[in-house]
């Protein structure tokens, strides 16, 4: 629902401030891509020329400011709900149509493996605007391909490439995690340590955050592939490509579930190894305690009958008898343990 702190006049396109070339888009990095290539930090005139000519372009804004949102609102005559949504990060993946433009929220991998980058894509009849706060691993390579001649002709095709790049950016990260899970399991089998359990729980937490995004994002891509989300500039041909992205998203969700199951197994292996090590320690302590039981009995017996032994047994006989009996008792216990397979 609209932000109650904004009045209807604030949200109306006519109320947006005038945009001058020097004031255009204060985001940290602004990139414009079209059929002619890639332009860094374009001015408002460059965007207006393409809009007036009806030429398709893709405008990417990294770390947008509040003024950027106001400028986009006036330039593209965005719906108030779109304006509210693109200014608020931390949303679930979704695809909402508003007449001649639509908003798609999707996630990709960030530089920090503990974080995800949230990308807001506003698609119109002849333009696509993407906004994100964090560095997006998917976009530099995609923009490099555009600068190298990759066609940028229509919103459906470019939106597909953006969503495909966001989805594919997860796979290298998941492959790295998969290798780490295998290595972690091998390390636990060799020598289980507390740090390994902490690492396993940290990885499971990351996968849990990714799973929270992957499931609704998969549903959004299913809508795009089926055509239930009516986006401007997206025809039947473009939907075929969205089905490919949907397949990638299914594979991604399956990989996340598989790795979560593997981590559960790793944690169980760790707990099993720790329990086995504890059992071994208890077994050794039990053997030691059992060996000392007859020794305690023998020394107690001789101690209680010390007065009688003084009168009837000589010094060397007492030493020999006491030592021999204890040694024989220990040997007898060890032979018994050995035959039982306890040592």
Range of the domain at 267: 8-274
Residues in CB range of 170: below 8 A, 6 or more apart:
108, 109, 210, 252
177 plus 317 within the same structural domain? no
**Residue pointed to by tokens 């798609």:** 104
pLDDT in tens, 236-282: 777 888 899 999 999 999 999 999 999 999 999 999 988 888 888 88
Residues 277-307 have pLDDT tens digits of 888 888 778 877 877 777 777 777 667 666 6
Q: Are residues 228 and 86 part of one domain? A: yes
Residues 140 and 44 in one domain: yes
Q: How many domains does the chain have?
A: 2
3-state secondary structure 155-219: HHHHHHHHHHHHHHCHHHHHHHHHHHHHHHHHHHHHCCCHHHHHHHHHHHHHHHHHHHHHHHHHH
Domain CATH number, residue 109: 3.30.460.20
Measured CA to CA, the distance from residue 164 to residue 158 in angstroms comes to 10
* Structural domain contains residue 47: yes
Is residue 330 located within the same domain as residue 212? no
Task: Tell which of 274, 302, 332 closes a domain.
Answer: 274
- 238 and 313 inside one domain: no
User: In the β-sheet with 29-34, what is the strand arrangement from edge to edge?
Assistant: 37-40, 29-34, 57-62, 127-132, 116-123, 101-109, 94-98
As a whole number of angstroms, the distance between CA 190 and CA 280 comes to 15
Whether residues 218 and 322 fall in one domain: no
Clarify whether residues 70 and 153 are in a common domain.
Answer: yes
**What are the tens digits of pLDDT across the range 123-180?**
998 999 999 998 888 898 899 888 888 888 888 889 999 999 999 999 999 999 999 9
pLDDT tens per residue across span 37-93: 888 888 788 888 888 888 899 999 999 888 889 889 989 999 999 999 999 999 999
Backbone phi and psi for residue 108, each to the nearest 5 degrees, phi listed first = -140, 180
Q: What does the alpha-carbon distance between residue 142 and residue 147 come to, in Å, rounded to a whole number?
A: 9
Can you give the pLDDT at residue 13?
Answer: 37
Neighbour count for residue 323 (Cβ, 10 Å): 10
By CB atoms closer than 10 A (0-12, 13-18, 19+), residue 166 is buried
Give the Cα separation of 100 and 59 in Å (integer). Answer: 17
Average pLDDT, the chain: 83
What is the per-residue burial (b if ≥16 Cβ within 10 Å, else e) of 182-196? eebbebbeeebeeeb
Q: Are residues 268 and 296 in the same domain?
A: no
Instruction: Verify that 238 and 203 share a domain, yes or no.
Output: yes
From 255, 274, 293, give the residue that closes a domain.
274
Name the residue among 283, 272, 233, 254 with its Cα closest to residue 104: 233
103, two tokens: 């908003």
Residue 96 lies in a domain: yes
Listed residues 274, 298, 319: the one ending a domain: 274
Same domain, 295 and 236: no
Q: Are residues 176 and 254 both part of a single domain?
A: yes
**136 in helix, strand or coil?**
strand
Around 314, how many Cα atoms within 13 Å sit in the side-chain half-sphere? Answer: 3
Please indicate, yes or no, if residue 2 is contained in any of the structural domains: no
1 domain residue, yes or no:
no
What pTM does this model have?
A: 0.75
Verify that 39 and 168 share a domain, yes or no.
yes
């Amino acid at each position: 629902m609209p932000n109650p702190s904004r009045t209807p006049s604030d949200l109306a396109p006519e109320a947006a401030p005038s945009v001058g070339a020097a004031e255009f888009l204060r985001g940290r990095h602004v990139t414009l891509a079209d059929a002619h290539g890639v332009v860094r930090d374009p001015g408002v005139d460059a965007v207006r020329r393409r809009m007036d000519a009806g030429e398709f372009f893709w405008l990417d804004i990294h770390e947008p400011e509040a003024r950027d949102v106001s400028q986009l609102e006036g330039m593209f005559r965005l719906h108030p709900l779109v304006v509210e949504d693109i200014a608020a990060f931390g949303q679930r993946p979704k695809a909402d149509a508003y007449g001649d433009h639509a908003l798609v929220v999707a996630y990709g991998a960030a530089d920090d493996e503990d974080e995800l980058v949230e990308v807001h894509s506003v698609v119109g009849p002849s333009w696509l605007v993407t906004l994100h706060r964090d560095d997006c691993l998917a976009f530099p390579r995609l923009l490099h391909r555009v600068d190298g001649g990759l066609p940028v002709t229509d919103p459906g095709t470019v939106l597909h490439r953006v969503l495909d790049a966001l989805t594919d950016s997860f796979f290298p990260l998941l492959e790295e995690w998969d290798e780490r899970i295998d290595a972690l399991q091998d390390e636990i089998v060799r020598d289980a340590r507390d740090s390994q359990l902490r690492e396993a729980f940290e990885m499971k937490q990351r996968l849990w955050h990714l799973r929270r995004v992957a499931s609704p994002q998969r549903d959004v891509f299913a809508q795009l592939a089926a055509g239930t989300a009516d986006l401007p500039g997206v025809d039947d041909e473009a939907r075929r490509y969205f089905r490919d992205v949907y397949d990638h998203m299914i594979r991604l969700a399956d990989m996340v579930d598989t790795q979560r199951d593997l981590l559960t197994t790793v944690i169980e292996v760790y707990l099993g190894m720790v329990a086995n090590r504890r059992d071994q320690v208890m077994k050794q302590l039990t053997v030691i305690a059992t060996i000392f039981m007859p020794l305690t009995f023998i020394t107690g017996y001789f101690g209680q009958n010390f007065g009688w032994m003084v009168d009837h047994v000589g010094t060397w006989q007492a030493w020999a008898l006491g030592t021999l009996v204890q040694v024989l008792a220990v040997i007898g216990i060890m032979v018994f343990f050995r035959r039982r397979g306890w040592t």
